[in-house]
Amino acid sequence: MKQVIDLGEIENLSQSERDELFDAVQYLTDLVLFVRETKGELTSHEGAPMIEYTGPFIPNALTRPDGVPLDLSILKNFGVGVADR
């Protein structure tokens, strides 16, 4: 992925640029999910559709448990090895 985008530069983008990047990534995610659905590539877990994710885990406002502080090292390691802690 680092060949496509310099991940370290995301931190330096303006808020509007980050918003645009987020929108583009969300659109691509939705499109890939749709294509996988049309090809029968979705599995389910307890009745909910699911796709296995094997990339680095980055705890964020939507996934970090309450009371757990921000891990600013993610801005340097991009979440690689975080799930192993």
pLDDT in tens, 9-37: 999 999 999 999 999 999 999 999 999 99
Q: Are residues 7 and 38 in the same domain?
A: yes
pTM confidence score: 0.76
The pLDDT assigned to 82 comes to 66
Residues above pLDDT 70, as percent of the chain: 93
The pLDDT assigned to 14 comes to 97
Give residue 19's domain range: 1-52
Q: Are residues 32 and 59 in the same domain?
A: no
Q: Are residues 64 and 83 in the same domain?
A: yes
Q: Are residues 41 and 15 in the same domain?
A: yes
The total domain count for the chain is 2
User: Is 80 exceeded by the pLDDT of residue 70?
Assistant: yes
Q: Are residues 30 and 11 in the same domain?
A: yes
Instruction: Confirm if 51 and 36 have CB atoms less than 8 A apart.
Output: yes
Q: Are residues 25 and 61 in the same domain?
A: no
Q: Are residues 4 and 44 in the same domain?
A: yes
End-to-end CA distance of the chain: 23
